[in-house]
Each structure stands twice: as structure tokens, then as C-alpha cells.
Amino acid sequence: MIAVADAGYRAISPDFRGYGLSQPPPEDELASWTHLISDMISMLDSLSISKVYLVGKDFGARVAYHLAMAHPERTVAVMPMGIPFLFKPFPRDLLPEGFYILRWQEPGRAEVDFGRLDVKTVVRNIYIMFSGSKLPVAKEDQEIMDIVDPSTPLPQWFTEEDLTAYATLYEKSGFCYPLKIPYRSWNEELGIPDPKVEVPVHLIMGEKDYIIKIPGLENYIKNGEMKNDVPDLEITFIPQGTHFVNEQFPDQVNEMLIKFLAKHVYEVAGDAGTVVFLHGFPEIWYTWRHQMIAVADAGYRALAPDFRGYGLSQPPPEEEEASWTHLISDMVSMLDSLSICKVFVIGKDFGARVAYHFAMVHPERASAVVTMGVPFLFKPFPRDLLPEGFYVLRWQEPGRAEADFGRFDVRTVVRNIYIMFSGSELPIAKEDQEIMDLVDPSTPLPQWFTEEDLTEYATLYEKSGFCYPVKIPYRSWDEELGISDPKVEVPVHLIMGEKDYVLKVPGMENYIKSGDMKNNVPDLEVTFIPQGTHFVHEQFPDQVNEIVVKFLAKHVQ
């Protein structure tokens, strides 16, 4: 993804339904390959994308082939890896007894096999198994998981951190749907009478890919038979490459990918510019789901990273030394890695503070800034103006938030904070209370925030925990940033909800409405949204999106 972004393309990498952060379809048993195609089309339509390049691996390659057949008008070119074009199911009688696909097609068998082990071990075993050059075939008295010796190390190009990223998301999704699609639906008829892929295709295979050991498959690829159904075909075999050739030899694969795309350039999306979204607490990138689609529809490229130590991002090596300046340098490093020289920055809650500071330190890289929920506050708010028991003061005390949160499961902590921050009153605990005690367990979620939304947040906070999110922002809020003249010289549009509890901080509402903020932010617009809370962008997405897109359009360079 970084390689194609560096080359000027817009990169989109969805999780298929029932994988990773995506929800499974309502009725798993009715899931089919055609749903994967229709999901792709729905995604492209929602983003107003008319035509794309497709890069698919393993069963994703099959989806890419089929999308190109069913919708050639929307496909520029296809680069599959690890799977040649196989329109009809491979003859079952050619597959060896005990072959993993045959085993996993048996209802319930894989579930029982996997169920003996924890999720991380299952993913580890499959990665090791599929990295080999032999077909994964179990003996009659074996299950597929038994093929892998527990002492076998991971491939050297696949780290424990990589494994954790995969395992975390399979902990959420489970394996039920991934066994349905692809294995138990492989023989599905797709209703295509003339199975031909008419767009350009470049197949990349590893010479050591176990797939090639399926009887007849290597000959099918190398003798030119595949060209009967894929006339405009290139094939590259990478010596020593396995089934995960894209992870094993990324530089080599990236070079081929960029050259192939460049031969078939159709359009480069996101000409209006790049928008970087910065989340707050207790949020992750997902908080921007409504705004990312809106700016993409308007022709911008949308980036929404998780801050370090949040969501899928790793914490810094030494958490106790983490600082606000690291958030700024992380931003710069991300933009440099993507070869992006200038961006619009949209920040919410403490993400707004990062946006302001980024624009001060790097004005040459900020086209404009939109902030929500937090005005420009260069100096820490006077502590003596904050009421005793205020959540910020409590969470600044070492260990106090950790002990408070530790009484509950992660989902309940996130639920409580969302409910609390959706109110119009300052969250203040009595002397004999902790902050989590402010929320009545029977209080429902805000109507604009679903149980499914809560699951997305809770899943990732299960991974990250709250240690680093309590450090940044709360215990680093008073950090000196070494800026002698605190002025944001780029255009800024502050969006606040009229019911945002932040306005109840003593003096805050007057500071915003009196114009004092303009002393440090001269080119400032402010919009108050009636009934809007601290999560105004999730609560009133259409209204916020309209404001954002209009503001960006005024400052496109």
C-alpha cells in the first residue's frame, strides 16, 4: 500500500465481510462468492470510484478475476498472486486424501481442529504451513493443525508483531465465516457463460509456492493454457518465493506492481489534496468513518491513522518517555513515507491539539485545519479553575485511571466514556467516587452510536489497553512544546456542539465566542451546531461533512 501510494495511487485495502474489522453478513450460511463481488461494487459506488486496479492474493485473486469478468468496465487491470485463473473447481479426484482444503470443506471439522488451540497458535500454524513448498496433507489419524511442529519458528520475514496484528483481528472475527468463504463455497456456480478475463493481468507466483504442487497446476500456468481464458497475461515466477511472496519479497513485488500499473494508467484519484484525520480519546481511526467517505467523494485522499499506542498502532518502545512532540514527528514521518508534501488536517479532542501544533511547527505542510471539540489552547488550562474531581485531574494521577478502569471489562470502559462525554455537563466525581461510577449501568448508548460501533472500539482497545492513551493526552497535557510565538497562521475552522461538555470548563465558552481565540488563530471560522455534543461529527455527520467539504474547497491549492 505504501509503495503504490508513493507512486501517486490511492490505496484501498478492505477486510472482506466476516474478516478483521468487517461484520459478517446477517446470515452466514447464505454467504456466497457473488456477495464478495457485490460488496466490492457497493464500496466503489459509495466512494464514487468508477474504475480501479485490482491486486488480489490467494482467494482474493479469485475475487479479482471474477470482478474483472463481471465488471470489465470498472477494472483497469489485475495483479493476482498465489492463485492462477481457475474458473471451474479443481477436479476433486486429483487432490490427495487429507489435503487441507478437502478437510476444511467438511462441516465442523476445522472448527473442532482449531478449537483445540488459541487463535494466535492457529494463525501461526497456518502461516508456517502455507510458507512451505509441500502440499499441506494430513495423515488419516491427523488433523491439519497437527502437521506443524510447535517448535517450528515463524518465517524470518514474518515477525511476532505481525502475528499479533493478525491474531488480534481473528480474535474478533473468529474462523466461522473464513471457513465458509472460501473453502465451503469454492464450488459455487457464478453464472458466467463465457469465462474470460479481458483486462490485462500479471500473475506473480513464488517458485516455492505449495500451490504449484497441486497435480497439473504448474503445467497449466507454464505451458500457456491459462491464456485461453486470460488472453492479455503476463506471468512472473520469483525464485525462492512462497505463497506469501508479497510479504517475503516486498521490494521485488512492489517494483513489478508499480511497473505494471504504470503501463495501464487510467487515473490517479485524490487530485484535490490529502486530508489527514486525527482522532481523540476514547477513539480510534474509526471515529472518522463518516467524514472519510465524504471527503473521498469530494475528490480528496483520506488518511486516518491510529496514534501510537492506540488501535492497531504499536506504542513507542519506552512509553514513559512518550510526548506530544512524538505525535507531531510521527505525522511528519508518515507524510514523508507517503511522499505527501502538504495536507489538510482535521482533528478532534486531543487530535485537535495535535492539528494546531502541527500547523504551528510545519505551516508549510498544512493547507488548512478543521478542529472539533477543543479550541486552540496553547498553555495548559489553569488548574485552579478546574473543579475538584474533574475527570482530567483524576486521570492525571498516576495509576488512578488504571485502577478505576481495571474494575470493568474494556467494552464497559469505552461504553461509559462515550456516554459520559456525550453529556452536556462536566464529568466530575465526588470525593468517594471514581470517574467510572458517574455512569449508571442502565444508561443506553447515544442513539447515533450503535453496539456494532462500540464493538469496533472495544476490539482495538482490547489490543492496545489504556496505559498509553492515559499517558497521551492526560499525563502529558502540561508539556512544554518550545514554541515561542504560538500562532496558527493557516486557515482554521472550529466546529463545536452547543451541548459539548467542554464548554462548561470555566471561561471556555467565553474564550471561543468573545473572539479571544483569534489572537492566536487569526484566520478563524467557528461554527456551533445546536444539540451537538463532544462527538458532533458522529452525531450529525451530514451537517459536519457539509461544513468540512465547503471549507476544504475554499483552500484547495
Q: Could you write out the DSSP letters of every residue in 212-262? A: GGSTTHHHHHHTSGGGGT-SSEEEEEETT--TTHHHHSHHHHHHHHHHHHH
Alpha carbon distance 76, 261 (integer Å): 9
Has residue 115 got a pLDDT over 60?
Answer: yes
Catalytic residue check, 162: no
Lowest-pLDDT choice from 28-32, 234-238, 443-447, 479-483 = 28-32
Mean pLDDT computed over 223-233: 91
Lowest-pLDDT choice from 7-21, 71-85, 393-407 = 7-21
Has residue 347 got a pLDDT over 90?
Answer: yes
Predicted pLDDT at 463: 82
Has residue 353 got a pLDDT over 50?
Answer: yes
Has residue 267 got a pLDDT over 50?
Answer: no
Q: Cβ neighbours of residue 533 under 8 Å, at least 6 residues apart?
A: 421, 422, 423, 424, 446, 497, 499, 500, 501, 539
Has residue 181 got a pLDDT over 90?
Answer: no
**Phi/psi at 265 (nearest 5 deg)?**
-60, 130
pLDDT above 70 covers a percentage of the chain that reads: 95
Catalytic residue check, 310: no
Catalytic residue check, 279: no
Give Cα separations from 251 to 13, 84, 243, 337 (angstroms).
19, 22, 16, 15
Predicted pLDDT at 292: 92
Lowest-pLDDT choice from 19-33, 174-188, 225-239, 252-266 = 19-33
Catalytic residue among 300, 310, 468, 474: 474
Alpha carbon distance 356, 371 (integer Å): 8
Homologous superfamily of 1-269 = Alpha/Beta hydrolase fold, catalytic domain (3.40.50.1820)
Catalytic residue among 113, 209, 229, 349: 349
Has residue 446 got a pLDDT over 90?
Answer: yes
Q: In terms of C-beta density within 10 A (0-12 exposed, 13-18 middle, 19 or more buried), how is residue 140 classed?
A: exposed
Alpha carbon distance 426, 501 (integer Å): 5
Q: Supply the mean pLDDT for the chain.
A: 90
* Residue 517 grid cell: 481565540
Q: What is the pTM of this model?
A: 0.66
Predicted pLDDT at 268: 38
Predicted pLDDT at 28: 61
Mean pLDDT computed over 503-511: 92
Predicted pLDDT at 94: 79
Mean pLDDT computed over 221-243: 93
Radius of gyration of the chain (CA): 26
Residue of higher predicted confidence among 483 and 549: 549
Has residue 259 got a pLDDT over 60?
Answer: yes
Q: Cβ neighbours of residue 288 under 8 Å, at least 6 residues apart?
A: 277, 279, 302, 304, 346, 537
Helices (H) and strands (E) in the chain, counts: 22, 10
* pLDDT confidence band for 139 (50 / 70 / 90): very high
Catalytic residue among 66, 493, 534, 537: 534
Has residue 324 got a pLDDT over 60?
Answer: yes
Q: What is the CATH number of domain 274-554?
A: 3.40.50.1820
pLDDT above 90 covers a percentage of the chain that reads: 64
Q: How many residues does the chain have?
A: 557
Predicted pLDDT at 269: 45
Beta bridge partners of 81: 57, 204
| Closest alpha carbon to 346 in 556, 548, 557 | 548
Predicted pLDDT at 380: 65
Cα 520 to the chain's mean position, in Å? 34
Has residue 12 got a pLDDT over 50?
Answer: yes
Mean pLDDT computed over 218-247: 93
Lowest-pLDDT choice from 179-183, 203-207, 387-391 = 179-183
* pLDDT confidence band for 246 (50 / 70 / 90): very high
Please write the tens of the pLDDT for every residue from 300-313: 889 999 998 888 78
All CATH 3.40.50.1820 domain ranges in the chain, comma separated: 1-269, 274-554
Has residue 297 got a pLDDT over 90?
Answer: no
Predicted pLDDT at 89: 65
